[in-house]
Structure 1
Amino acid sequence: HVGNVHLLPILKEARSRGATIVSVDPVHHRTAAFADLHVQPRPGGDSALALGVACLFFERGHVDPRAGEYCDHLPEFERLARSRSASEWADLAGVAPETLDALVQAYAQKPAALLIGWGLQRRRNGSATVRVIDALGAISGNVGIPGGGVSYYYKRRGAFDLGFAKRDEVAPRLIPEPLFGPAVLAAQDPPIRMLWVTAANPVAMLPESETVAQALETRELTVVVDSFLTDSARHAHLVLPTTTLLEEDDLLGAYGHHWVVESRPVVAPPGEVKSDYQIIQELARRTGLANEFSESLETWKRRVLQPVADKGASLEDLRNGAVRNPLAPQLMFADRRFPTPSGKVNLIHEVDVTPTRGTPTRPLILMALSTSKSQASQWDKQDQQGPAIATVHPLAAPNFEEGEIARLQSEQGELRVELRFDKRQRPEVVLMDKGGWLSAGRCANALVKAEVTDAGGCAVYYDTPVRLLKFPTCC
């Protein structure tokens, strides 16, 4: 209902054909009411939950008899799954054994698809968790069959030829995005003197927001290209106004599906506003690179679409409507051959299954979630007034009243928040809106430490221990 609205019509159609919809999320949200079964594990309990399902699959004979033909390390994965009883896995995941059993019964009905949201990658061991779920999909026989699979990501630019962008090949050094603030400040030999920020609002959206702000404002020159005066723009020396999507001429891939479209402007940009490409052209003209950026947008579009132009996705095709990426197969791994050295699924068999825990002094876990009211940090200004809302189960704030103004504190910082109670949430979590503005005192990322996950280079957004504190009473 928020992060992948394109999926809803497909889920509704599947349900009309008899499919069972299961939602697995430590947060209770609108999708929970839509689902036939909502499973609410503790934060970071997904690996334990998946291994509990795998344990019962092995015990009850639900494992594909041919799994050994296309899976490496099957015996080792079975030992991992059987290293605890199903009830022990359920307890570690924070769900009732009956809930685990209901999940097993639902997933045992083939074909069954696992659709993994992006929340898992925002935990310290997120990559390993995704691999555990991948393993469950493999041993159940749901890989390489219609209606099955484990889906985590769509190559939204997979139809485009981006070979002209050398990126990492020519970059003199690389800084992981989650470590941006501390890394810029620490960079030496040589130090980073200038920053150019486009298509991003790192102050609001990256961990350690105060550190990121410091990194931007302490360079010799920081340029931010944006349509609005964002938190990042407020810390820049120069802000270049650029077009919004309604004014832009571009090609677009997609979040959450395989369709490609051409974006055409519906209104003219105001005044001196220029597109990102026009800004680069003007800069190139002043730096001796005018020839490299002299071609029209039409020419660039046709160049980018070369891999699919003769497959039904030319620029003319896109101008007649959205086109599904012809390079995206309808069925992945139909031959059950995989891009590994052995050609088999490499089942994970060593994994830290410990769920996220708070600390004795900071027992709650912060999660800042997407909301239907904004796209990342693109809020209406009136929605960024007053203290940020922090939603908790009443048991998480036993000495507070609903609506009370409290201090939400991590090791990294502190925010002033207004408490909302929701008995449907787990008592370990504090929920906030994603993308709140630092300038308004509503930025959850100001509380999040800059660190990277176990693989994939994502920020650890969802594992921050926090506590609620009272404001001192007035004398």
Structure 2
Amino acid sequence: MTASHWGAGVVETHADRIVAVHPHPDDPHPSLINQNIASSLNGRARVLRPAVRSGWLENGPGGGTRGEDSFVEVSWDRALDLVAAELTRVRDLHGNGALFAGSYGWSSAGRVHHAQSQLKRFLNCQGGFVRSKGNYSYNAALVLMPYIVGPYRDHVAQATRWSVIAEHSDLVVMFGGMAGRNTQVSDGGVARHRMRDNLAACHTQGVRFVNLSPMKRDADAELDAEWLPPRPGTDTAVMLGLAHSLLVQGLCDRDFLDRYTIGFNRVERYILGRDDGVPKDAQWAGDISGIPAERLIALARDMAHSRTIITCAAGVQRADFGEQPLWMTVTLAAMLGQIGLPGGGYTIGYGVNANIGNIERPFRSGTLPQGTNAVDKFVPVAMISDMLLNPGARYDYDGAQRQFPDIRLVWWAGGNPFHHHQDLNKLRRAFQKPETVIVNELNWTATARHADIVLPVAAPQERTDFGAGKSDNALVPMPAHVAPPGEARIEYDIYADLSARLGTADHFTEGRDIEAWTREIWTTTQTEARRHGVSLPDWEAFLAGDVLTLPDPSANQVFLADFRADPVAHPLPTPSGRIELFSHAIAGFALNDCHGHASWMPPRDQPSALYPLNLLSGQPGTRLHSQLDNGAFSLSRKIRGREPVILHPGDAAARGIVDGDVVEIWNARGRCLAGAVVSDAILQGCAFLWTGAWYDPDFDAEQHRDRHGNPNVLTHDLRTSSLSQGPAAHSATVQVARFEGVVPDVLAHDPPRFSP
């Protein structure tokens, strides 16, 4: 048995080697991503011994060129001595505020060997570190939504269940669609994939779906959804056009707006154009979005006369001014007056993972305590390049002005910024700035290749743990099936040895080895379970058994039902206690890129003669982010070894491109190669390139062209706004052409060069 973010699996071994991970028999729709595990863990990219970049080793901290230098394999004693000495040097000279622990990523689904918790506990025992704040997935929502409705993470857990939608809804209007490929994964794991059956039940019950996305396949074919593709980045304009139609047709629920919201009078003036002279009517919205005005008018009427739930995909906010479609989603739902009713209202984030609206955990499992961070500095996660390139510079965030720290040492564990981050050529420049970069890794990813010291670590199937998803109702035993290959080690043991060198062993270990900590964390989980009326077996029985399914804590929940029933007894955690369609707090920040109410601001990067296509990118169906990209299933869907890019037949024909061609995609920031897929399931004028191909720069080519198809060589590093500083990578334009030269080999899945 094993657990992963994409599902439980049954591990098959032969001669002390994992040869396959099979679907769990109780999972109705298991993910095929498990097919990557065996081939990736046994692949040639596996990091087998500690390694040090030759330029750093020969010239000292900061020497050489990260990403281009060769590596020297060393003993564990040498590697740990180097790490301990460098930590001590940086702390003594610059303080703990010069240490940055990136550690952003999903890493293992196990609760004990959680990469972030392990590293953060270790560094907190050393006096602390600068951390990142927020995430790449839905950062705008994390910052914005507390001003409008309340904490976004709480509201995701409280989302109306799909069983309720199947029974009560007539219409689901999906901004950004609801891609099935996203619903095969969930942070912390998923034991049973329920989404497909729950959506099928909605369809069987006669619920109608409208997919407002440039990608038709962002709604599964089984939903028979109407496809209304807006131009990328125009969702807010579409919502405003719908809102205008509701106003002029007298279809707003004024009683709901008066009782449950504040500030609609300001919003109404904006929608009607009373202040700026521009009515945001359906014709205005149609001209901007490309959706016919008459269809928007009819859709608004249909939404008002039906029990309607509005969904907004997380990807919609990862664009210029991404806060606005979130705010406008709430505004539009409030105008319909169905928030808090079964099958009505809105949810932001449906489809972002397998569990939202399907299941929730009844209690939190135990975790490794991280301790207290004595350093109070942080940086928004999408600003890492700016932090490294501009130490001491000031920036706005969440209504306050902050200052970038002067980072001298970066330590990354359990994540791959060369997948997540925008504008990779800029990130490469930024990664040259620290004096030292340390990376814990399974494979020679681009992040490992841009490190100075690389520490090889065990995979989830090579250590004992248990899976307990952040939003799943299952506990999954994760026994160690094989030993780590080469000299790879369990991360806890690495940190324990480092702590001994640094004189903090007692503080870090508290006298426990990793087995004792595992039992302690399971005991904590048992105690928490008993508080919720659940009895769990002892550790040995659990580890030898099957998946444990826990009770569903709220099978029929309706989002904001209590607030609707009595807004005085159940106020929202906003300044007014109500839904703030106009926020005096945000208006008081006087930001020019996020006003006091939802507003239309066109994307900064518009199609032009030079770069005529909108670049779209999204989670692939073949892996989670960039994890296990060198696995068999991931490789099976590539085209001539490269990531697929989807082009409309009209755009392909104009460029002489056919299925299977290797194409070059470029703009002023970078360029990459990809494999062409021609399909009429994408809006003309768009190119869709999957995320997660391991970054493979060719340093001899123009703009260090990526050979593999990573879209983040093309995305810009501007943010959604100065309120949330979220990533806005979906607002990018490119040109595409058939590649006519000698097609270079992809080297991303090979190890780097080694020196004696």
Q: TM-score, normalised by structure 2?
A: 0.56
Q: Which of 458, 469, 479 is the equivalent residue of 1:243?
A: 458
The correspondence for 1:19, drawn from 187, 191, 207, is: 207
Residue 20 of structure 1 aligns to which amino acid in structure 2? Answer: R
1:354 counterpart residue number: 602
Deviation at 1:218, TM superposition (A): 5.7
Gap change, CA 1:331 and 1:399, over 3 Å in 2: closer
Asked whether the equivalents of residues 616 and 688 of structure 2 are also in contact (C-alpha less than 8 Å), the reply is yes
Residue 422 (structure 1) aligned with residue 679 (structure 2): yes
Contact between 1:146 and 1:331, CA under 8 Å: does it hold in 2?
Answer: yes
Which residue, out of 475, 481, 484, partners 1:261?
A: 475
Are residues 1:274 and 2:462 paired? no
- Aligned equivalents of 1:374, 1:280: Cα separation in 2: 29
Q: Alpha-carbon deviations, 1:298-318, whole Å to 9, x = none? A: 323554787665124676599
TM superposition shift of 1:373: 1.4
Q: Does 1:70 align with 2:263?
A: no
Where does residue 401 of structure 2 map in the other structure? none
Counterpart AA for 1:55: H
Counterpart amino acid of 1:265?
A: P
Correspondent of 1:410 among 648, 667, 676: 667
Q: How far 1:142 sits from its partner (Å)?
A: 2.3
Task: Please list the CA deviations of residues 129-167 of structure 1 after superposition, one character each: whole Å capped at 9, or x if unmatched.
Answer: 111001112221222222234222569999468895477
CA contact (8 A) 2:441 2:454 kept: yes
C-alpha change, 1:359 and 1:327, in structure 2 (3 Å) is same
Q: Find out whether 1:464 has 2:732 as its counterpart.
A: yes
The more displaced of 368-377 and 57-66 is: 57-66
Q: Which moved more, 1:427-436 or 1:12-21?
A: 12-21
Kept in 1, the 8 Å contact 2:330–2:346? The answer is yes
Aligned-pair CA distance for 1:343: 0.9
Q: 1:179–1:207: 8 Å Cα contact kept in structure 2? A: no
Provide the rounded CA distance (Å) in 2 between the counterparts of 1:282 and 1:163: 18
Match of 2:384 in 1: 180
Is 1:51 aligned with 2:51? no
Secondary structure of 2:202's match? helix
Gaps of 5+ in 1: none
SS at match of 2:557: coil
1:286 aligned to 2:504?
no
Equivalent pair of 1:377/1:435 in contact (CA under 8 Å): yes
Larger RCO (CA under 8 A, 6+ residues apart) = 2
Alignment of 1:72-471 (within 5 A): 72-82=262-272, 83-108=279-304, 110-153=306-349, 159=364, 165=370, 170-171=374-375, 173-187=377-391, 191-216=406-431, 219-247=434-462, 249-254=465-470, 257=471, 259=473, 261-265=475-479, 267-271=481-485, 272-291=487-506, 292-294=508-510, 295=512, 296-303=517-524, 310-312=531-533, 321-323=548-550, 326=553, 330-336=557-563, 337-348=571-582, 349-354=597-602, 357-378=606-627, 379-380=629-630, 382=635, 386-397=641-652, 398-403=654-659, 404-439=661-696, 440-454=707-721, 455-469=723-737
Determine the C-alpha separation between the residues in 1 that align with 2:298 and 2:497: 61
Aligned 8 A contact 1:225 1:241 in 2: yes
Q: Does the 8 A contact of 1:258 with 1:325 survive in 2?
A: no
The whole-number CA distance in structure 2 between the counterparts of 1:266 and 1:13 is: 38
Question: CA 1:244–1:47 in 2, change beyond 3 Å: closer, same or farther?
Answer: same
Measure how far apart 1:239 and its partner are: 2.5
Q: Distance in 2 between matches of 1:469 and 1:432?
A: 14
1:10 to 198, 201, 206: 198
Instruction: For residue 411 of structure 2, give the secondary structure of its aligned residue in structure 1.
Output: strand
Q: Offset at 1:286?
A: 3.0
* Counterparts in 2 of 1:269 and 1:206: CA distance versus 1, 3 Å: farther
| Aligned 8 A contact 2:366 2:522 in 1 | no
| Distance in structure 2 (CA, Å) of the matches to 1:457 and 1:324 | 38
Q: For structure 2, which runs of at least 5 residues remain unmatched after alignment?
A: 1-179, 185-193, 273-278, 350-355, 393-403, 564-570, 583-596, 697-706, 743-756
The answer to whether the 8 Å contact 1:32/1:38 transfers is no
The alpha-carbon distance between structure 1 residues 266 and 24, as it changes in their structure 2 partners (threshold 3 A), is farther
Give the deviation of 1:15 after TM superposition: 2.4
Q: Are 1:159 and 1:326, in contact at CA under 8 Å, matched by a contact in 2?
A: no
Mapped to 2, the partners of 1:31 and 1:431 lie a distance apart of 15
Q: Is the 8 A contact 1:388 1:432 kept in 2?
A: yes
Q: What secondary structure sits across from 2:577 in the alignment?
A: coil
Q: Deviations over 1:402-438 (max 9, x none)?
A: 2544431122111133433223321221111111121
Shift in CA distance, 456/34, structure 1 to aligned 2, threshold 3 Å: farther
Letter in 2 for 1:451: L
Instruction: Return the offset for 1:232.
Output: 1.0
1:204 and 1:363 map into 2 onto residues whose CA distance is 25
Greater CA radius of gyration, 1 or 2?
2
Q: Give the superposition deviation at 1:38.
A: 2.2
Deviation string, structure 1 residues 370-426 (Cα, Å, up to 9, x no partner)? 121121112135456544433222333523332544431122111133433223321
User: SS of 1:4's equivalent?
Assistant: helix
Secondary structure of 1:151 counterpart: strand
Contact 2:320/2:719, CA 8 A, preserved across alignment: yes
Give a deviation string over 1:48-70, Cα, whole Å, max 9, x none: 12122222222334322332111
CA RMSD of aligned residues (A): 3.5
2:267 and 2:715 mapped to 1: Cα distance? 34
- Distance verdict in 2 for CA 1:332–1:165, change over 3 Å: farther
Partner of 2:52: none
Change (3 A) 1:121 1:284: farther
**Worse-matched range after superposition: 320-329 or 110-119:** 320-329
Checking the alignment, whether the CA contact within 8 Å between 2:644 and 2:677 is kept in structure 1 is yes
TM-score (norm 1): 0.86
Cα distance in structure 1, aligned partners of 2:551 and 2:211: 27
Identity of aligned residues (%): 22
- CA–CA separation in structure 2 for the residues paired with 1:312 and 1:451: 49
Q: Is 1:302–1:314's contact at 8 Å kept on the other side of the alignment?
A: no
CA distance in 1 between partners of 2:599 and 2:371 (Å) = 35
Q: Is the 8 A contact 2:368 2:521 kept in 1?
A: no
1:466 CA drift (Å): 1.3
